[in-house]
Amino acid sequence: MKNILKGLSVIITVFLASCASQQSLQEYYVDNKENPNFISLDIPASILNMDEVELTDVQKEAIESLRKFNLLAFKKTSENVTEYKLEKAKVKEILKNEDFIELMKINSSYGKGVIKYLGEDDAIDEVIIYGDSKEQGFALVRVLGKNMNPSHIMQIMQAIQKSDYKGEGLGEIGKFLKG
């Protein structure tokens, strides 16, 4: 009986250790908030200042489903290339988690990226936007909301395009995102 209990405790310990070894995206944000290579910002959705923008009912619903944005950007320099590669690999590994559902890939003159989400198709709680540039570094944006859906993402992008929002209130990260 002792051997069975010992065996079970070893199996449970190994299982828990393997589950805990996969860092979550939220843990990654917290772990790197104070890292000098990163720019970090938590932004309320109200910063978009959409009150004066003429929006369709669907766009209003999409904007109202937003709560906040968490931005984390790694600013690449000639001195931190090795750390850049390491951190980029960590983020890509986290985003491989099967809980993240891919919405679309991005390929632009600025770099490559992906948009993924967590939740159900009709009740998304978090959208993750990741993009990297060989010259600039990479940026990770968590869009947190309540009961968003995939069509909301496009509606939010269209609503922001309608507005005069130019990145005010983003400080240093706004400069980084502009390239």
Question: In this model, does residue 17 exceed pLDDT 80?
Answer: no
Distance CA 61, CA 49 (A): 15
Ramachandran class of 166: left when φ > 0, alpha when ψ lies in -120 to 50, beta otherwise: alpha
Tens digit of pLDDT for each residue in 21-41?
Answer: 568 899 999 999 999 999 998
Domain range for residue 145?
23-178
* Residue with the larger pLDDT of the pair 84 and 158: 84
Banded pLDDT at 159 (limits 50, 70, 90): confident
Tokens of residue 106, six digits:
């991005």
Task: Report the pLDDT averaged over residues 150-173.
Answer: 66
Tokens of residue 54, six digits:
């003429």
Q: Domain for residue 7, yes or no? A: no
Distance CA 18, CA 10 (A): 12
Q: Domain for residue 87, yes or no? A: yes
Question: In this model, does residue 6 exceed pLDDT 80?
Answer: no
What is the pTM (predicted TM-score) of this model? 0.74
- Which of 39-43, 60-64, 74-78, 171-175 has maximum average pLDDT? 74-78
* Residue with the larger pLDDT of the pair 150 and 25: 25
Distance CA 159, CA 97 (A): 30
Question: In this model, does residue 137 exceed pLDDT 90?
Answer: yes
Nearest to 118 by CA among 103, 133, 104: 103
**Widest CA span of the chain, in angstroms?**
71
The total of structural domains in the chain comes to 1
Question: In this model, does residue 15 exceed pLDDT 50?
Answer: no
* Residue with the larger pLDDT of the pair 167 and 13: 167
Q: Domain for residue 29, yes or no? A: yes
Banded pLDDT at 48 (limits 50, 70, 90): confident
Question: In this model, does residue 164 exceed pLDDT 50?
Answer: yes
Between β-strands 112-120 and 101-107, what pairing exists: parallel, antiparallel or unpaired?
Answer: antiparallel
State the alpha helices, DSSP H only, in the chain. 2-21, 25-32, 57-64, 81-95, 150-162, 172-178
Residues with Cβ within 8 Å of residue 97, at least 6 apart in sequence: 22
Q: Domain for residue 130, yes or no? A: yes
Q: Domain for residue 8, yes or no? A: no
Q: Domain for residue 151, yes or no? A: yes
